[in-house]
C-alpha cells in the first residue's frame, strides 16, 4: 500500500517537473510559468497530511536543485517547509470539495514566493519588494491557481481511484457478495 | 499493543525536522565542496533530458502551427515597420561599404578576430529554461559526448549569449549574459575603451542590461558596439555583446555607466552555437 502510493507520487512528481520545465515554459503568461510542482506539493499535503506534504516538497525541491539551482538543498528547504505547512489544512479535507484546495494552493504559492524573495533577493541586498510582488509574485500566484483548477481535479481523481482500488483488494469476497455495489464502489460520493 | 504502536509511529514533526536538517546539511556541503555533488546533478540531468527533448520537439511543432493564427493587424503593422527599417538599412549599407575598407585594415591588425571564424562550432537546441520564467539560465541538448566542456562561449547570430557552467553526458547548462550574477569584460568598438557588462534581470524587462566602469574620459556615444575584450580570461575576444545607450555619469563621479541592448533576443532564442575554442587555448597559440 505504502510502496504503491510512493511510486504513484514519484511518477506524479516527474510528470509535474516535465510539465513545468518543458511544456509551460512555452505557455508563459505575463512572463511567468505556473508552479506545477507547488500545485502537486500543496494538493498532496492537503489530501494526505503533513508527512506526505513535507516529503513531496522535499523531492520536488531536490529535482529543481539538481537541475537548476546553484546550491543543492535551497529549493528543497523551501518546498519542504511550504508542504509541511499546507499539511495543517488536511483535517478539513473532503474529497468532494473543490473550493478550499485552491485557497490552499494559492496560499502555498504566495508563501513560497515570499520565502523565495527573502532568500534570493532580500539577503542579496535587493529591498524593492514592491517590484518583486508586481512582476513575479502576483502573476505567479494567479497563474498557478488558474492552472490548479484543472490539475487539482486530476490529482484528487487519481487519489480517489487509487483508494477505491485498494479498498476493493482488501475487502473479503463474502462482503462484496452480501453488500453489493456499495462496497465495490467504496464510499458513495454523490 | 498500544505501547508497540507508539514506539513505531514517526511523527510528522520528526520527519520535517529530519528533512530540514538534510537540506541545511546539503546546502552547506554544496557551498563548501561544489564538486562533490556534481555527479548527482549529472545523474538527475541524464534522467530527465531525454524526456524533455521529446516534449520540446513536439512543443516546437505545435507552436509553429499556432503562429499561423497571429492576427493580420500585427502583420500589417510589422510590414510598415520593416519597410521603414529596410530604408534605414539601405542607407546604413552605403556607409558600411565605405567602412569595410577600413575594417580590412583593422582585421590585419587584430589577427585574432579571424581565429574563431574558422573555429569548430556546435549547434544546440534549447530544451528547458529556468522554471521561474526568467531567461537567465537554460539547458541545451549537447554535452560531454559532443565535446562540450565548462567555460565554452555560447553565441547566436554572431553575438554572445553566455557561457557554459555545467556539463552532463548529453546536456549542458548555459548562464546568459543577462543573468544577475553574470559580468563580462567588454570594449567599445571604434574607441577600444573598456567596460564591464553586468546582467540585470529587472532592467531586462525594458530590454536593457547594465554597462559599468566606463572611463570618465572615454569618448563613447549611443549605439556604439560593445565587444568582448582581451582582458577576460573566460570569454573569447571580439564577440559582439550589444549596443550601448543612455550613457551617464556614475553617482560616484569616478566613472560612467550606461545601458546596453543585447544583440541577442533572449525571449525567443531557440538554438545556439557553441564555440569549441577555449580562451586558455587561444593564449597557447600566441
Tell me what percent of the residues of chain B surpass a pLDDT of 90: 11
Confidence of residue A80 (pLDDT cuts 50, 70, 90): very high
For B95-132, give the secondary structure using H, E and C: HHHHHHHHHHHHHHHCHHHHHHHCCCEEEEEEEEECCC
Provide the pLDDT for residue B7. Answer: 52
Pairwise CB contact (< 8 Å): B27 & A25: no
Contact across the interface for A63 and B23, Cβ inside 8 Å: no
Query: Rounded to the nearest 5°, which phi and psi values hold at B228?
Result: -70, 145
Q: Do A51 and B45 touch (CB under 8 A)?
A: no
Query: Any residues with CB less than 8 A from the CB of B270 and at least 6 apart, and which?
Result: B60, B125, B126
- Which chain A residue has its CA at the smallest distance from B57's CA? A22
Give the model confidence (pLDDT) of A111-166 as tens digits: 999 998 888 888 878 788 888 888 888 988 999 999 999 889 888 888 888 888 88
**Test the B interface: residue of A11, A15, A22, A66 with most B CBs within 10 Å:** A22
Interchain proximity A54–B128, CB inside 8 Å:
no
Q: What is the pLDDT of residues B212-236, one digit of tens each?
A: 888 888 888 888 889 898 888 888 8
Contacts with A28 from chain B: Cβ below 8 Å: 133
Q: Does B24 sit within 8 Å of A135, measured CB to CB?
A: no
**B223, three cell numbers:** 549605439
Search chain B and give the residue with CA nearest A76.
B23
Determine the distance in angstroms separating the CA of B234 from the nearest CA of chain A, rounded to an integer.
19
Which cell numbers hold the place of B125?
A: 537546441
Q: Looking at the complex, does the CB of residue A66 fall below 8 Å from at least one CB of chain B? A: yes
* A147 touches B at CB < 8 Å: no
Q: Which residues of B touch A16 (CB under 8 A)?
A: none
Residue spans of the domains in chain A: they are 2-20+33-184
The C-alpha angle A36, A42, A43, rounded to 5 degrees, equals: 85
- What is the C-alpha to C-alpha distance for residues A2 and A51, in angstroms, rounded to an integer? 13
Q: At what angle do helices A100-120 and A36-48 cross, to 10 degrees?
A: 130
What residues of chain B lie within 8 A of the CB of A26, using their CB? Answer: 59-60, 63
A32 close to B (CB below 8 A): yes
User: What pLDDT score does B259 carry?
Assistant: 92
At B276 the three-state DSSP class reads: coil
Cell numbers for B49, please give them. 533530458
**CB contacts, 8 Å: B51 with chain A:** 14, 18, 22
* Model confidence, pTM: 0.65
Under 8 Å between Cβ of B203 and B220:
no
Residue ranges per structural domain of chain B: 72-109, 122-286
C-alpha cell read off for B174 = 548555459
CATH 3.40.50.1220 applies to domain B122-286: no
Residues belonging to chain A: 190
Mutant choice from B8, B9, B10, B19 vs A, greatest count of A C-beta within 10 A = B19
Mean pLDDT of B48-71: 76
Q: Do B133 and A28 touch (CB under 8 A)?
A: yes
Residue A121 touches partner B, C-beta closer than 8 Å: no
Confidence of residue B174 (pLDDT cuts 50, 70, 90): very high
- Asked if B46 has any chain A CB less than 8 Å from its own CB, the reply is no
The verdict on a CB contact (< 8 Å) between A21 and B131 is yes
Interface test with A, best of B9, B10, B14, B16 (most A CBs within 10 A): B16
What the block records as the C-alpha cell of B187 is 570594449
Give residue A172's pLDDT band: very low, low, confident or very high (50, 70, 90).
low
Q: Which residues of A touch B133 (CB under 8 A)?
A: 25, 28, 31-33, 136, 140
Q: Is A67 within 8 Å of B48 when comparing Cβ atoms?
A: yes
CB pairs under 8 A between A and B: 117
- By mean pLDDT, which of A18-27, A45-54, B168-177 is the weakest? A18-27
CA A18 to chain CA centroid, Å, is: 14
Contact B131 A64 (CB under 8 A): yes
* Domain range A2-20+33-184, CATH class: mainly alpha
The residue in chain B having the minimum alpha-carbon distance to the alpha carbon of residue A139 is B133
* Short-list A63, A67, A53, A65, CA closest to A105: A53
Q: What is the ipTM of this complex?
A: 0.75
Residue A183 clears pLDDT 50, i.e. is over it? no
Q: How confident is the model at residue B70 (pLDDT cuts 50, 70, 90)?
A: low
Task: Closest CB to A54: pick one of B16, B51, B63.
Answer: B16
Distances (CA, A) of B180 to B26, B112, B199, B204, B250: 24, 30, 5, 10, 19
pLDDT digits (tens, 9 = 90+) for B92-103: 888 888 788 667
The phi, psi pair for B155, rounded to 5°, reads -125, 165
Q: Is A48 on the interface with B (CB under 8 A)?
A: no
Task: Evaluate whether B138 touches B174 at the Cβ level (below 8 Å).
Answer: yes
Residue B77 to residue B140: CA distance in whole angstroms: 34
From chain B, pick out residues whose CB is under 8 angstroms from the CB of A71: 27, 30-31
Q: Tell me if A77 sits within 8 A of B23, measured CB to CB.
A: yes
Residues A140, A110: Cα–Cα separation, whole Å: 8
Query: Is the Cβ of B205 closer than 8 Å to some Cβ of chain A?
Result: yes
Amino acid at each position: 500500500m505504502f510502496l504503491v502510493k510512493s511510486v504513484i507520487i514519484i511518477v506524479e512528481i516527474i510528470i509535474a517537473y516535465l510539465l513545468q520545465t518543458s511544456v509551460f515554459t512555452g505557455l508563459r503568461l505575463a512572463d511567468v510559468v505556473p508552479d506545477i510542482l507547488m500545485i502537486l506539493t500543496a494538493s498532496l499535503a492537503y489530501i494526505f497530511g503533513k508527512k506526505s506534504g513535507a516529503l513531496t516538497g522535499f523531492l520536488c525541491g531536490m529535482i529543481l536543485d539538481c537541475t537548476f539551482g546553484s546550491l543543492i538543498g535551497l529549493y528543497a528547504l523551501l518546498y519542504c517547509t511550504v508542504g509541511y505547512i499546507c499539511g495543517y489544512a488536511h483535517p478539513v479535507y473532503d474529497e468532494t470539495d473543490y473550493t478550499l484546495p485552491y485557497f490552499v494552493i494559492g496560499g502555498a504559492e504566495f508563501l513560497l514566493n515570499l520565502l523565495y524573495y527573502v532568500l534570493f533577493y532580500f539577503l542579496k541586498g535587493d529591498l524593492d519588494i514592491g517590484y518583486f510582488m508586481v512582476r513575479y509574485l502576483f502573476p505567479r500566484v494567479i497563474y498557478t491557481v488558474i492552472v490548479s483548477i484543472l490539475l487539482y481535479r486530476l490529482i484528487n481523481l487519481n487519489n480517489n481511484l487509487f483508494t477505491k482500488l485498494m479498498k476493493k483488494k482488501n475487502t473479503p469476497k463474502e462482503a462484496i457478495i452480501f453488500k453489493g455495489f456499495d462496497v465495490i464502489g467504496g464510499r458513495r460520493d454523490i | 499493543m498500544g505501547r508497540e504502536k507508539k514506539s513505531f509511529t514517526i511523527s510528522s514533526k520528526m520527519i520535517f525536522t529530519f528533512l530540514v536538517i538534510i537540506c541545511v546539511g546539503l546546502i552547506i556541503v554544496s557551498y563548501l565542496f561544489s564538486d562533490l555533488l556534481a555527479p548527482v546533478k549529472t545523474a538527475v540531468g541524464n534522467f530527465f533530458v531525454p524526456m524533455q527533448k521529446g516534449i520540446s520537439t513536439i512543443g516546437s511543432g505545435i507552436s509553429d502551427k499556432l503562429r499561423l493564427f497571429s492576427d493580420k493587424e500585427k502583420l500589417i503593422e510589422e510590414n510598415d515597420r520593416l519597410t521603414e527599417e529596410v530604408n534605414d538599412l539601405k542607407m546604413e549599407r552605403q556607409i558600411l561599404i565605405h567602412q569595410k575598407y577600413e575594417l580590412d585594415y583593422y582585421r590585419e591588425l587584430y589577427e585574432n578576430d579571424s581565429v574563431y571564424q574558422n573555429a569548430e562550432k556546435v549547434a544546440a537546441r534549447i530544451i528547458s529554461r529556468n522554471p521561474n520564467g526568467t531567461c537567465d539560465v537554460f539547458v541545451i541538448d549537447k554535452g560531454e559526448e559532443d565535446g562540450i566542456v565548462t567555460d565554452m562561449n555560447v553565441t547566436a547570430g554572431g553575438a554572445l549569449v553566455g557561457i557554459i557552467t555545467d556539463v552532463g553526458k548529453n546536456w549542458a547548462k548555459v548562464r546568459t549574459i543577462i543573468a544577475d550574477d553574470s559580468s563580462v569584460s567588454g570594449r567599445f568598438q571604434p574607441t577600444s575603451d573598456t567596460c564591464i557588462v553586468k546582467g540585470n534581470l529587472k532592467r531586462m524587462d525594458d530590454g536593457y542590461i547594465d554597462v559599468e566602469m566606463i572611463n570618465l574620459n572615454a569618448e563613447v556615444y549611443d549605439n556604439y558596439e560593445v565587444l568582448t575584450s582581451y582582458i577576460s580570461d573566460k570569454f573569447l575576444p571580439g564577440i559582439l555583446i550589444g549596443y550601448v545607450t543612455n550613457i551617464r555619469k556614475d553617482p560616484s563621479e569616478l566613472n560612467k555607466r550606461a545601458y546596453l541592448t543585447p544583440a541577442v533576443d533572449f525571449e525567443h532564442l531557440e538554438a545556439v552555437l557553441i564555440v569549441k575554442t577555449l580562451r586558455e587555448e587561444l593564449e597557447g597559440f600566441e
